[in-house]
Amino acid sequence: MKKLLISSLLGAIALIFFHQCKPLDLTADYKDITISYGILNVRDDVHYFKIYHGYLTEGNAYQAAGEWDNLYYPIDSIEVRFEEYRNGQLTRSEVLDTTTVVPKDDGYFHNPKQLLYYSKWKLDDECKYRLVIHRNSTGEEVYAETMMVHGFSISRPMLSWNMNLTNPYPMRFYSAENAAMYDVFLTFYYIEVDNATGAVEHKQITRKINGDYIRATSGSEVTYSGFTPSSFFSTIIQGIETNPNVTRYIDSVDGKPYHCMRLTVWGGDKNYLTYREVATPSSSIVQNNLEYTNFVSNDESAYGLVASRNYSYVNLMMDNTTGHNEDTLVLSPRTRRLNFNYYRYSPEFPPQLP
Position 273 scores a pLDDT of 94
Question: Which residues constitute the domain of residue 216?
Answer: 154-266+313-345
- Cβ–Cβ < 8 Å for 217, 308: no
Same domain, 34 and 175: no
Kindly tell me if the per-residue pLDDT of 51 is higher than 60: yes
Residue 147's φ and ψ, nearest 5 degrees, are: -90, 160
**Exposed / middle / buried, residue 349 (Cβ in 10 Å: 0-12, 13-18, 19+):** middle
Position 63 scores a pLDDT of 66
Same domain, 176 and 323: yes
Same domain, 125 and 240: no
CA-based R_g, the chain, Å = 24
Classify residue 203: in a domain, yes or no: yes
Same domain, 170 and 192: yes
Position 196 scores a pLDDT of 97
108 vs 329, higher pLDDT: 329
Mean pLDDT of 33-60: 88
Classify residue 3: in a domain, yes or no: no
CB atoms near residue 117 (< 10 Å): 23
CA-to-CA separations, 226 to 184, 238, 290, in angstroms, rounded: 11, 20, 30
Position 28 scores a pLDDT of 60
Same domain, 95 and 176: no
Same domain, 33 and 129: yes
Same domain, 161 and 64: no
Q: Which tens digit of pLDDT belongs to each residue from 119-159?
A: 999 999 999 999 999 999 899 999 999 999 999 899 999 88
Q: Compute the distance between CA of residue 313 and CA of residue 346 in angstroms, rounded to an integer.
A: 26
Same domain, 329 and 238: yes
Q: Which tens digit of pLDDT belongs to each residue from 248-264?
A: 999 999 888 899 999 99
Q: Which tens digit of pLDDT belongs to each residue from 201-242?
A: 999 999 999 988 999 988 899 999 999 999 999 999 999 999
Lowest-pLDDT range, 9-23, 66-80, 257-271?
A: 9-23
65 vs 207, higher pLDDT: 207
Position 283 scores a pLDDT of 56
Q: Which tens digit of pLDDT belongs to each residue from 274-330?
A: 998 887 765 555 555 557 899 999 888 899 999 999 999 999 998 887 768 999 999
- Cβ–Cβ < 8 Å for 280, 150: no
Q: Compute the distance between CA of residue 170 and CA of residue 263 in angstroms, rounded to an integer.
A: 13
Kindly tell me if the per-residue pLDDT of 76 is higher than 50: yes
Which are the contacts of 31, defined by CB distance < 8 A and separation ≥ 6?
54, 299, 301
Mean pLDDT of 95-101: 92
Q: Compute the distance between CA of residue 231 and CA of residue 208 in angstroms, rounded to an integer.
A: 12
Position 249 scores a pLDDT of 97
Same domain, 87 and 164: no
Classify residue 34: in a domain, yes or no: yes
Q: Compute the distance between CA of residue 104 and CA of residue 101 in angstroms, rounded to an integer.
A: 9
Kindly tell me if the per-residue pLDDT of 21 is higher than 90: no
Using alpha carbons, select from 40, 32, 53, 49 the residue that is nearest to residue 95.
Answer: 49
Classify residue 353: in a domain, yes or no: no
Kindly tell me if the per-residue pLDDT of 15 is higher than 50: no
Kindly tell me if the per-residue pLDDT of 2 is higher than 90: no
Same domain, 223 and 262: yes
Position 5 scores a pLDDT of 33
Q: How many domains does the chain have?
A: 2
Instruction: Looking at mean pLDDT, say which of 12-26, 52-66, 109-123, 207-221 comes out highest.
Output: 207-221
- Residue 230 is given by DSSP the state G
Q: What is the dihedral of CA 345, 347, 351, 354, to 10 degrees?
A: -10
Q: What DSSP string describes 301-349?
A: -EEEEEEEEEEEEEEEEE--SSS-HHHHHHH-TTTGGG-B--GGGSTTS
Kindly tell me if the per-residue pLDDT of 3 is higher than 60: no
Classify residue 354: in a domain, yes or no: no
Position 192 scores a pLDDT of 98
Classify residue 352: in a domain, yes or no: no
Classify residue 205: in a domain, yes or no: yes
Q: Compute the distance between CA of residue 300 and CA of residue 302 in angstroms, rounded to an integer.
A: 6
Position 285 scores a pLDDT of 54
Same domain, 33 and 134: yes
Same domain, 110 and 160: no
Q: Which tens digit of pLDDT belongs to each residue from 157-186?
A: 988 889 999 999 999 999 999 999 999 999
User: Count of alpha carbons within 13 Å of 74, Cβ hemisphere only?
Assistant: 4
Kindly tell me if the per-residue pLDDT of 27 is higher than 60: no
13 vs 75, higher pLDDT: 75
Classify residue 350: in a domain, yes or no: no
